[in-house]
Chain A
Amino acid sequence: MDFRTRFPLRLWRPTVDEEVDSELDFHLEMRTRELMRGGLTEPEARRAALVRFGDVRRARRACRAIGRQREQRMRSTQYFSELRQDAAFAIRQMLAAPAFTSIAVATLALGIGATTAIFSAVNAVVLRPLPVPEPDRLVVVNEVWRDMDRGAVSAGNFVDMMADQAVFDAAAALTPVSMTLARDEGAERIIGVKATGDFFRTYRVNAALGRVFGQQDDAPGRDQVVVLSHKFWTRQFGADRGVLGRQITLDARPYTIIGVMPPSFDFTSDAEDVWVPIAFTPERKAMHDEHFLNVVARLKDGTSPQQAQQQLDRIASDLRTRFPKDDADRGFAVSPMMQSFVGDYARRLIILMGAVGFVLLIACGNVSNLLLARGAARARELAVRSALGAGQGRLVRQLFTESLVLGAVSAAAGVALAWMCIGVLIARAPQGVPRLDQARIDGTALGFAVGLAVVCSIVFGLVPAWRASRTDINTTLKESIRGAGSRGARDIVRSMLIGAEVALALVLLVGAGLLIRSAIETARVSPGFDPRGVYSARFSLPQTKYATPEAVLHAAEAIHDGVANVPGVRRAAVASNVPGVGTFSNGLVPEGEAPVTENVRQSMARFVSPGYFEAMGIPILKGRDFTPADRAGAPLVMIVNQSLARRLWPNQDPVGRRVMGSAPESDNPAATAKVVIGVVPDLHFDGPAAPTDLEFYQPLAQLDETAWGWTRRTLFIVARTTADPSSLGPAVRRVISSVDPAVPLFSERTMEQRMAATLETARFNTMLLVVLGIVGLLLSGVGIYGVVAYFASQRTAEIGIRMALGASRGTVLKLVVAQAARPVVLGIAAGAICAAFSSQVLASQLVNVRPTDPVTFAAVAAVLLVVALCAALVPARRAAGLSPTHALQSGE
């Protein structure tokens, strides 16, 4: 290395002004002397010299101006050439130390890659605005009822609210529906949305082809028009631009295609295929007690969500007065659309973002430590350079350039890693995370990665650079000969880094540990039924063809009988819901109590055929199952679960008691009271991680038209088989098409798959946090190893002396390990305190485990201690294995 070219000697370097003055003075003095030699006296000579010179001030000004200009140009050239030199030097340095470089780059790339991958997901799901004009003006309106704040809105309440409000530019009520699309061969289930006329006006989105529907289409008789999603148009019609005006048959009704939406109007991965007008009938518009609508609205300019909330509060209080029965305790809640759209995912992703941030910090800690160690090794080089005239600022700048180059290389590797991670993330993530499939390394993510690399470079470059800038030349030059750095301060910095890494790793591991504990607890929870060997699928009977309860029931029974006769089926049943899918609720009142709001027990309704409990493996705890004799005309019956039995009749036998509510209903509730004939156990209906509910069952055969409306005539066929339940599909399909080829079968799953699906999100989160926890653990292990190895190498001479004086291997081991023990223990303590707070963010995801679960904390602390001990023992054993002579020699 040529120091002279890098740091040219500047023994005397005057400023431009001094330079000019001194040069001109020199000239005048030389001229004066010459004239004096010619015989003039000094004053005469000086005057003559000045005359000869001309205008001194003008010359001086001209020279200074040119000089300054030149100085400035040189300074900036020098700056850039130095930067180039620094970068080239940094690259040479990195190539010269391949082990250091690859460890540092790998560590950082891991941190940057993981963080960038998660950031892309957060960006796609949470941060990116909805692709509509002024998305921040969009809100959703929910009904609130007692402690339920995300309730659906009834048609009556929506219509009355719209008539009174003055805060929205436009608003629409909608309901997602599963529709049957008739095709040449068989039928297909598609997802549709039925919406009121202002749906598209609310979003302010227009059709890419044709037109959207509006108010004029949203009336019975004019509502047979359909708008296609871009995805559906491509899939079903091969993006044929001639589809406008053609007809498709949905739920056995013809609809005319009037438009195709642009691809951007497709917020979620499992978004709707078609939109049709909802076309409320006048009766529906007057109905205030069936809550099934989602409401989106666009705020007027200058109206805040709070102002809208105030106005809706007033409207809700009017509605309570006008409809005391239906709207008792009901109100509206306005919330920003984005918030309700990404909902829980935002929270989960941000927790994840925090976790990867911790991994990144640990990675920075490690690289910082590596750079410190290299800084110590290079202290002498830096001191020599400093002695040769390199300024402190110049040295710090050089060290920073090295950090930045390291950061840039790591960012490149990290982006590649992130690119792979995103693929895995999208493939493994649970279904239904909105917009996750749009996560990619785009400009924003790239900018994030580069920003991250720069920030990291500054973070991990700061400590070593600061140390280098404080290095005293004399001490370093002297000490480097003795082989010891200025130890005290630097050791404290190292110990603090180790402590911080351990603390961060502990917080991560506590999170992972809590989720694992929760998963173990979840596995212990019995769902209340036996999901093994049970097949399930849905079918839908179009209302146009199956209008009366008798018609629906007849078809359902035919399908049931057909499936029951399939070889290998032990018991088949038909039901409105099965565990894991969908639900609706009804208010029940025990006979003998007044049918008023305070006495209503809101319970989950399940409508089932006889044999359902046997097919699902649900034991009848008391009483009897439904039989074919429980039909229309026979006494109305009901089976309740244990929780509902306890709630309705505490400490009494529920069998034989009567309960009012649910369908069939009449103006005289007592006339349609149902007799409880049996009790079944509580089910974990929405999966083992979800709480149990109050539940009741009614026979399908006793449902009236209203209740069939609640089911949307979509039913489950379930079958307990002796064979593999997943192989039952073709046989069931044959049965369905023999009953009605226009009825589609969909959502085929075994009950075990349905239960697993309810845990998919939790399992995915657990997996991610465990992976991050392990990465954090390994990184901090590597960090501890590095620091202990450094400590041991610094004390080689001391160890040699101790051993020469008779210290045993054990004593030396203890000596070396003890030095690392203190920061580790302090780190664990600090981490435990942080974790006690941070784990609260996981509280909602934990089943039967408290966020401060002492078992998890103890286990994680133990794991960390063991890893730290192992990481410390390797270099300590090496130190203790030295021969005293060797140790003393190398310590010279």
Chain B
Amino acid sequence: MPDPSRELLHGTLEPLILKCVALTPRHGYAIARWLEDATGDVLQIEDGSLYPALYRMEERGWIAAEWGTSDLGRKAKLYRITPAGRRRLTAVVAEWARFASAISKVLLSV
């Protein structure tokens, strides 16, 4: 079982995925790996929860998928960000910044 303290903070998975595919189109496994690397294993995501999130985001139109060829020459589903997804990302980042600064102010003040 993953350490509870390292569990993903509620609601942060989707912004992270958006950030990830905003850089370059990736398939699901690559996204999982990027999340591990980028958060330096601080956040550990259960792989199984990644995919429903991806499908949900695709349905909402933030990301789009098409079938392409992976590094290994196998067919894989590649996700890329859509314009709507970019707008969402900007909004979420701004929100996070406000939230983080507010919480920091409280928690870090002596």
Q: Kindly supply a per-residue 1/0 record for chain A positions 52-91, scoring 1 wherever the CB is within 8 Å of any chain B CB and 0 otherwise.
A: 1111101100110011011000000000000000000000
Bound state CA distance, A69 and B59, in angstroms? 9
Name B's A-contacting residues (CB within 8 A). 27-29, 32-33, 46-49, 51-52, 54-56, 58-59, 67, 70, 74-77
Bound state CA distance, A62 and B52, in angstroms? 6
With beta carbons under 8 angstroms apart, the residue of A24, A31, A70 that contacts B51 is A24
User: B33 to chain A: which residues have CB within 8 Å?
Assistant: 34
Find out whether the CB atom of A67 lies under 8 angstroms from the CB atom of B75.
no
Classify chain A: how many residues form its interface, as a range: 20 to 34
User: B58 to chain A: which residues have CB within 8 Å?
Assistant: 66, 70
User: B29 to chain A: which residues have CB within 8 Å?
Assistant: 26-27, 30-31
Find out whether the CB atom of B77 lies under 8 angstroms from the CB atom of A59.
no
Name A's B-contacting residues (CB within 8 A). 12, 14, 19-20, 22-24, 26-27, 30-31, 34, 52-56, 58-59, 62-63, 66-67, 69-70
Bound state CA distance, A251 and B109, in angstroms? 114
User: A34 to chain B: which residues have CB within 8 Å?
Assistant: 33
Given known A22-B75, A23-B77, contact A67–B55 (CB-CB < 8 A): yes
Find out whether the CB atom of A59 lies under 8 angstroms from the CB atom of B32.
no
Say what secondary structure dominates the interface of chain B: helix
Distance in Å from the Cβ of A67 to the closest Cβ of chain B? 6
User: B28 to chain A: which residues have CB within 8 Å?
Assistant: 23, 26-27
Distance in Å from the Cβ of B77 to the closest Cβ of chain A? 5
Find out whether the CB atom of A59 lies under 8 angstroms from the CB atom of B52.
yes
Q: How many pairs of A and B residues are in contact by the CB < 8 Å rule?
A: 63
List 21 A–B pairs whose Cβ atoms lie within 8 Å, in order of A's numbering. Answer: A14-B67, A23-B27, A23-B28, A24-B51, A26-B70, A26-B74, A26-B76, A27-B47, A27-B51, A30-B29, A31-B29, A31-B47, A52-B47, A54-B49, A56-B48, A58-B48, A59-B48, A59-B52, A62-B51, A63-B52, A67-B55
Residue of B nearest to A33 (CB): B72
Residue of A nearest to B57 (CB): A66
Find out whether the CB atom of B55 lies under 8 angstroms from the CB atom of A63.
yes
User: A54 to chain B: which residues have CB within 8 Å?
Assistant: 46-49
Bound state CA distance, A345 and B27, in angstroms? 77
Bound state CA distance, A389 and B46, in angstroms? 41
Residue of B nearest to A11 (CB): B67
Distance in Å from the Cβ of A666 to the closest Cβ of chain B? 105
Find out whether the CB atom of B27 lies under 8 angstroms from the CB atom of A26.
yes
Bound state CA distance, A27 and B26, in angstroms? 12
Bound state CA distance, A34 and B30, in angstroms? 12
Bound state CA distance, A14 and B52, in angstroms? 18
User: B75 to chain A: which residues have CB within 8 Å?
Assistant: 12, 22
Find out whether the CB atom of B55 lies under 8 angstroms from the CB atom of A62.
yes
User: A22 to chain B: which residues have CB within 8 Å?
Assistant: 75, 77
User: B52 to chain A: which residues have CB within 8 Å?
Assistant: 59, 62-63, 66
Distance in Å from the Cβ of A11 to the closest Cβ of chain B? 9
Residue of A nearest to B54 (CB): A63
Bound state CA distance, A27 and B67, in angstroms? 14
Distance in Å from the Cβ of B79 to the closest Cβ of chain A? 10
With beta carbons under 8 angstroms apart, the residue of A20, A27, A53, A66 that contacts B56 is A66
What 4 additional pairs, Cβ within 8 angstroms, besides A19-B77, A66-B59? A20-B51, A26-B74, A63-B52, A66-B55
